[in-house]
Amino acid sequence: MANHKSALKRIRQNEVRKVRNRYYHKTARTAIKVLRNEEDKAAATEQLPKVIALLDRLAKKNIIHKNKAANLKSKLAKHVNKLA
C-alpha cells in the first residue's frame, strides 16, 4: 500500500479514469456493433457520422489508438457504401 499522500491520490484518480475509459470504450464498441448490423442504407448513412465522431474523440483522448480509429472508420465507411 502506498505511504505518500500524493500516491494515494494518484491511485484514486487512476481508478476513476479507468472506470470512465472503460465506459467510453464499451459505448463505442456497442455503437460500432449497431452500425455493422444495420441493413438499411439510409439509417446507416445517418449513424455513420456520429460513430466516426465518437471514434475520433476516443482517439484524441488516447482511449484507442489513432490508427485503430482510422481502420475502424474505413471499414465502417466501406460497409455503409456496400449496402444496397
* 32 CB-side CA count, 13 A: 21
Q: What is the pLDDT of residue 50?
A: 97
Residue 1 clears pLDDT 80, i.e. is over it: no
Q: What is the pLDDT of residue 3?
A: 86
* pTM across the whole model: 0.84
Give 40-81 pLDDT, tens digit per residue: 999 999 999 999 999 999 999 999 999 999 999 999 999 999
Supply 78's cell numbers. Answer: 466501406
Helix axes of 5-36 and 41-60: crossing angle, nearest 10 degrees? 160
Residue type, 28: A
